[in-house]
Structure 1
Amino acid sequence: MKHNRNLTRRKLLLGLGALGVSTAGGFAIVTEPARALDHTTTDGNGLVLDWAATRNGGDDSGSVTDTGSTFSYSALNLMPGDSGTLTVEMSLTDGTADSFPQFAFELTRTDENDLTDPEREAGDDTPDEGELQNYLDVKIFYDTGTLGVDMWGATNGEQDLGEGLIDPDAEGTLAEVADALPDKDDVEWLTLDAEPTTSGADPLTDNNTVAVSFGWVFARSGAINATQTDSVSFDLNFYVAEVE
């Protein structure tokens, strides 16, 4: 098995001399540098997935369970101001035909865990259903670096200049995004673009990779009482469909 690390034409041309560039189109390029993804898995069908998870800037891989093509993320014991990311970079093994990466997202658990007095006082009257999914702000975006240049923040977990959402509905509360995007039981998943900074839709090949990041933030301080003890779990699912 070979894990592709070849330079694409985009990486080569845009990377030359990049260290001497500080602005682009009047926008300062100030971002966290590209980061290494410490974990690797494969789906057994030619798709390699490197990944990393963070919470409040530290490692959060213990909150993630990967089963080759599915990443199950559990978030609990959150406080207002907490934030986190799950970044996944996709590539193909040797001999795998050019393929479009496919993505599905599913909210799998919304646990109340316990209904406390502060929750009741905040209006929470659902002992079997948590509310945290309504207060987490999330987005899923291509994490390919500022203006598509890898060294300018690829896989850093931050949405930089030129990094678009994977879908117009891939931003909102966790509940809203889960409702809008296809889940794993849908016939059609969301097709990802392996070269999102170029025109048209491009597949994964022997010579490219593409990364997406799921970012979340618990920014609503007024929700602390309504969400005490609540937790959520969700799945990010990937596979590749061979180009016909």
Structure 2
Amino acid sequence: MTNDNQLIDLTRRKLLIGAGAIGLASAGAGLGTSALFNDRESFDGNTVVAGTLDLLVHYDAVYNGAPAENLAESPSGTADGAAALFYTLDDVKPGDSGAIEFCFELNTNPAYLWFCTEQTADDENGQNEPELETEGADTDGLGELDDEILVDAFYCDEDGAAISDGTIASDVSLAEFLATYAAGAPLNADAEAVPAGDQSPYAASSEPGVTTGPCLCIEWELPVGVGNEVQSDSVAFDIDFHAVQARNTDGTENPCCEPTTTSLSTGVADWQVVASPDGTTGAAQVVTAHPAWYPNVNPDDPDVPGDCDAEWITPYGGDGETDQPAGSYVYELTFVAPATTSTENPCTLSGALATDNTGQLLLDGVQIAGLGNANPADFQDPTSYSAAVTTPGTHTLRAEVTNNPSPSGDPANPTGLFVCARLDCPCSVRDV
């Protein structure tokens, strides 16, 4: 191996932003979260033989059209080493908006840049009377603020003006934005969103203090029409920037992510009832399995993964022996695949399906598993499935279940849905 092949050096910059609570006309001031901009130099696992690579991030934060000085020591500056509290918002209200611009200085070699996100807090912070009346009693301690804030991300110049064809994300919720880029995404010196390996590296700065390539702008807004459900909620998140020396690399190595496994199973993830014969909708409820359902009659079914964490659900809760209306039941769950997801680098969704009575499981409208009065019955004999998720962003799992009319003489006619669902997403955009 030559010296040139060993010239890889990694610098990381982290931004943590906290958006405070929402105050409406019917409520007092809310709570906010703190925020730090951390600069961490990391050389773990890398060998520096010659040459250097140092990334400095120039930042500028705006809140409601003015420098973001609310609880902030400095709304703008350059991060290189020491942490600097610079963007913390308290008592954010519907109609408020803001923006953050990041520009990059590279000393002294060209590099591929990546950014990745991590949500670090999502808190309900209690419920006052207007919030309780709007959303009902909180069951998980999670707020709705991240779901209501809308985000645009795009390439921009140093003045914050958007660059043509430079859209990265448009009009997505903060929650979706953070989930999509949790596994990282490349930044392109040509200011266009492209897959890893197709991006151009950022050039080295001509001299200290001079930025290079397009900047990254993130704009956010809490729409005027948002209701009381966000009162007192708070959210915080990190943004990491990574620089990987461009010489002898091709831009495909992802320094942001690790392989992830996410449970989307019923009883674990936030499955919602969207239709039922009697009009009951809302969060699906866990029920005790009927004595005739899996796993009571077939605990070692080979179609069910050994690490299955699913539970039976219905719109009503209780136990699986309770009589329920005959007819069609529809359940849905949305999830987000990371920005690195592609045909060449897919996530895999796999698991098992059981229903009482017949049913099917669909991914983005395409059936991936089905049950239809098999013998033994569908609720005794789950079926396995596996499907590729090849595009980043939001996807929908939909389960449709039919509860057949009760045979004459049966004391009860229960229904239920059981879905083992595991989403595995690889770390890198290539095998390494």
Pairwise TM-score range, normalised by the shorter structure: 0.5 to 0.7
Secondary structure at the aligned position of 1:209 is classed as coil
Secondary structure at the aligned position of 2:239 is classed as strand
Please tell me whether residue 58 in structure 1 is matched to residue 66 in structure 2: yes
For residues 124 and 112 of structure 1, what CA distance do their matches in structure 2 show?
12
Residue 129 (structure 1) aligned to one of 142, 145, 152: 142
**Contact 1:136/1:173, CA 8 A, preserved across alignment:** yes
Secondary structure at the aligned position of 2:217 is classed as strand
> Which one is further off, 48-57 or 69-78?
69-78
Q: What letter is aligned with 1:172?
A: V
Q: What letter is aligned with 2:180?
A: A
Q: How far has the Cα of 1:129 moved from its partner?
A: 1.3
Secondary structure at the aligned position of 1:195 is classed as coil
**Structure with more of its chain in helix, by fraction:** 1
Please tell me whether residue 102 in structure 1 is matched to residue 111 in structure 2: no
Q: How far has the Cα of 1:135 moved from its partner?
A: 0.5
Identity of aligned residues (%): 24
Question: RMSD between aligned alpha carbons?
Answer: 3.2
Q: What letter is aligned with 1:50?
A: H
Larger Rg: 2
Residue 196 (structure 1) aligned to one of 180, 186, 191: 191
Secondary structure at the aligned position of 2:135 is classed as coil
Please tell me whether residue 224 in structure 1 is matched to residue 227 in structure 2: yes
TM-score by length of 2: 0.38
Q: What letter is aligned with 2:156?
A: D
**Contact 2:167/2:192, CA 8 A, preserved across alignment:** no
Per the alignment, residue 7 of structure 1 pairs with none
- CA 242–105 in structure 1, closer or farther in 2 if over 3 Å, else same: same
Please tell me whether residue 233 in structure 1 is matched to residue 236 in structure 2: yes
For residues 74 and 237 of structure 1, what CA distance do their matches in structure 2 show?
17
Instruction: List alignment gaps of at least 5 residues for structure 2.
Output: 1-36, 42-52, 206-211, 250-432
**Contact 1:107/1:233, CA 8 A, preserved across alignment:** yes
**Contact 1:83/1:215, CA 8 A, preserved across alignment:** yes
For residues 143 and 88 of structure 2, what CA distance do their matches in structure 1 show?
14
- CA 201–139 in structure 1, closer or farther in 2 if over 3 Å, else same: same
Secondary structure at the aligned position of 2:199 is classed as coil
Aligned length: 184
> Which one is further off, 130-139 or 41-50?
41-50
Secondary structure at the aligned position of 1:122 is classed as helix
**Contact 1:110/1:130, CA 8 A, preserved across alignment:** yes
For residues 220 and 141 of structure 1, what CA distance do their matches in structure 2 show?
23
Q: Which runs of 4+ in 1 moved over 6 A?
A: 63-67, 69-72
Residue 88 (structure 1) aligned to one of 102, 105, 112: 102
Q: How far has the Cα of 1:143 moved from its partner?
A: 1.1
For residues 90 and 42 of structure 1, what CA distance do their matches in structure 2 show?
13
**Structure with more of its chain in strand, by fraction:** 2
Q: How far has the Cα of 1:125 moved from its partner?
A: 2.4
**Contact 2:117/2:179, CA 8 A, preserved across alignment:** no
**Contact 2:131/2:228, CA 8 A, preserved across alignment:** yes
- CA 143–232 in structure 1, closer or farther in 2 if over 3 Å, else same: same
Instruction: List alignment gaps of at least 5 residues for structure 1.
Output: 1-39, 145-153
Per the alignment, residue 138 of structure 1 pairs with 151
Per the alignment, residue 166 of structure 2 pairs with 164
Per the alignment, residue 93 of structure 2 pairs with 79
Secondary structure at the aligned position of 1:134 is classed as helix
TM-score by length of 1: 0.65
Q: Deviations over 1:155-203 (max 9, x none)?
A: 32x5x3615223xx5640011111212x2xx4xx311012316996221
Q: What letter is aligned with 1:227?
A: V
